[in-house]
Amino acid sequence: MSEKKKEKNKKGCFISFTIFFIFIILGIIFIVSTFSKFTAGPKVDIGSNSWIEINIGGDLPYFTEASVLSGKRQFTYFDLYNSLEKIKNDDDIKGIIIKNLNISGSKIEEIYDKIKEVKKSGKKVYAYLENFDRNKYVKTVIADKIYLNPSESNFISLTGYYHSQTFYKRMFDKIGIKYNVIHVGDYKGTGETFTRNSMSEYLKQNLKSIFDGLFENQIDRIVKHRGYDRNKFLQKILDGDYFLISPKEAKENKLVDDIIYREEFYNKYKIKNRNIVNIASYAGTVKKDIYKDKIAVIIADGAISMGKSKRSFNPLMGFQKSLGADTFTEQIKKAANREDVKGIVLRVDSPGGSALASDIMWNAIIEAKKKKPVYVSMGNMAASGGYYISAPADKIYANNNTILGSIGVVMMVPDLSDFMSNKLYLNTDSIKKGKYSDFGKRFTIPPEQQRIIRESMIRTYKEFKKHVSTGRDLPMDYVEKIAQGKIYIGENAKEIGLIDSIGSLEKAIDDMKNRLKLKKISLKFYPEEKTFFEKIKEGKLLKLSRENIDLIKILKEVSEKEMKPQYVLPFSYKLNN
């Protein structure tokens, strides 16, 4: 081939590569700009005499990552909180219309406080309901007036609470699975659903005290805002007098102020459809103040585990969210090392998890405290490992309905030998060298190994109590008295010294600001929003990763995970009717 031809081919290749590279760059720019449009949220013009409508049918995450395919960014807890903060000073907003405010646990207490501030600013708050039970009703009683659709098809029911747990022992016996659950702490009921056919008296007693407390708090809120005689109202609830009542009966019993259709409600207050703005849209108008001095707010949300935090979906196990020790320690180190961050507030909302991961996170907090103050604000729960990582904080805040404590240890050891051999028809064979070298590798745990496991767990339990004793400045014998796996709610926890104050995240931040003698501060949130390219790299554009079903892998992971000490809450809760 002639030199001229070779040179011509080189130029052609170079031109082709350049054109290809330009198209790649243009494609990336197009994707980024498209993504930005999706995630920026809808723009909305707020005119005078506007009303903000709140219609939240499920609990709100603290943060969310937008998805290109879903085309929108999910509304978050902080979006709601910051929107209410802005509304109270927005002259264009006349008031709020609550249709549904179904936020779980103690978060609703913080939202109540913000709505109170809106009312104090002179704006009206009305609720318009279509169907309600006690849970929905208690979250709307803060309204100045409550209105109800008059249709007889409305489902109206205010009753006591009901909580149940499903026990799997009989099913496991049938299919050849046996669980060995080792507790340290009489009230540490984690794993009972695998080893019993009903609750132990310890667990039942503790659960009853928690659910009674949460229920009584709801009754107090209703009575306070609706002006009932507490004893009479409570008795009516317990007697079932408000079970499936008609809209007319709801009005006669002063549960609502009037029964009218929605258009009548709008006409009554001269509210035009064009003046109604959904709060998710309004959130897009909220601007953040930027100041030199900052307080870091680190969201410690999810079940505690080793490694990185993640949110995934498995068809067998559903949605799973974990709080990884590596991710947490990286975040708190960043906050501790930033010169413009003057203090750290941890928002803990976790039922616990891995004991080792909890201790790694605990140590990261101890190291951060050497550089700047650390406060903890507890969300819905800070139980077991969630309390473990909270204990060293300079101050701990919780809401009345926060579930916390559960100072104890549990290890769940599944024995799958019968299941593998007689149900899946699998045989195993092995070779070994050295005593105990098969620990964690077999599907059965010999009695001697179980004894050694328990001794190890007792040491782990003592370490937990020691950290609580040191962090809270409490005698060890007193810590043992309040530990044993017992769970508490906010006010009870304050009485026994597990927390310093009943208060919201905002109170924790304000107190930190006062301690630091700062007038103006910005909040620096962790985890930080990932860049577009980071999301591509991690496969996060769909918000979660999908996992293939591998039954043997899942059984192995369950076995390996649970054959380690766990600081975890013994139940999941929702105060249901």
Confidence of residue 544 (pLDDT cuts 50, 70, 90): very low
Return d(Cα 488, Cα 480) in angstroms, integer.
Answer: 15
- DSSP per position, 296-355: EEEEEESEEESS--EEEEETTTEEEEEEEHHHHHHHHHHHHH-TTEEEEEEEEEE-EEEH
**Which phi and psi (to 5°) does residue 485 adopt?**
85, 5
Average pLDDT in the 119-144 region? 94
Return d(Cα 552, Cα 554) in angstroms, integer.
Answer: 5
Enumerate the domain spans of the chain. Answer: 50-159+240-285, 294-568
- Is residue 566 within 8 A of residue 357, CB to CB? The reply is no
What fold characterizes domain 294-568?
Answer: 2-enoyl-CoA Hydratase; Chain A, domain 1 (3.90.226)
Secondary structure class of 268 (helix, strand, coil): helix
pLDDT in tens, 388-418: 999 999 999 999 999 999 999 888 878 888 8
Please tell me the class of the 50-159+240-285 domain: alpha beta
pLDDT at site 577: 39
Candidates 203, 231, 99; CA nearest to 486 is 203
pLDDT at site 317: 44
Q: Helices 230-239 & 201-226, crossing angle to 10 degrees?
A: 120
Is-same-fold flag (50-159+240-285; 294-568)?
Answer: yes
The helix (run of H) or strand (run of E) holding residue 344 is strand 341-350
Q: How many CB atoms lie within 10 A of CB 536?
A: 14
Q: How many residues does the chain have?
A: 577
Query: What's this model's pTM, rounded to 2 decimal places?
Result: 0.84
DSSP state of 372: S
- Is residue 466 within 8 A of residue 548, CB to CB? The reply is no
Name the residue with tokens 């060995």: 180
Average pLDDT in the 426-446 region? 81
Candidates 164, 190, 127, 203; CA nearest to 413 is 190
pLDDT at site 254: 95
Name the residue with tokens 């805040």: 397
Selected residue with higher pLDDT from 154 and 498 = 498
For residue 373, pLDDT over 80 is answered with yes
Q: 419 Cβ partners below 8 Å, 6+ apart?
A: 175, 176, 177
Q: Strands 522-526, 294-301: parallel, antiparallel or unpaired by DSSP?
A: parallel
What phi-psi label fits residue 340: left (phi over 0), alpha (psi between -120 and 50 degrees) or beta?
alpha
Q: Percentage of residues in the chain with pLDDT exceeding 70?
A: 80
Alpha-carbon separation of residue 404 from 10, 146, 208, 299, 491 (angstroms): 70, 33, 15, 17, 11
- Note the Cα 101 to chain centre separation in Å: 16
For residue 353, pLDDT over 70 is answered with yes
For residue 35, pLDDT over 50 is answered with no
Tell me the two tokens of residue 316.
Answer: 């067998």
Selected residue with higher pLDDT from 552 and 158 = 158
- Is residue 42 within 8 A of residue 71, CB to CB? The reply is no
Using only C-alpha atoms, the chain has a radius of gyration, in whole angstroms, of: 28
pLDDT at site 11: 56
pLDDT at site 36: 44
For residue 7, pLDDT over 70 is answered with no
Average pLDDT in the 198-222 region? 92
Helices H / strands E in the chain, number of each? 21, 25
- Is residue 96 within 8 A of residue 51, CB to CB? The reply is yes
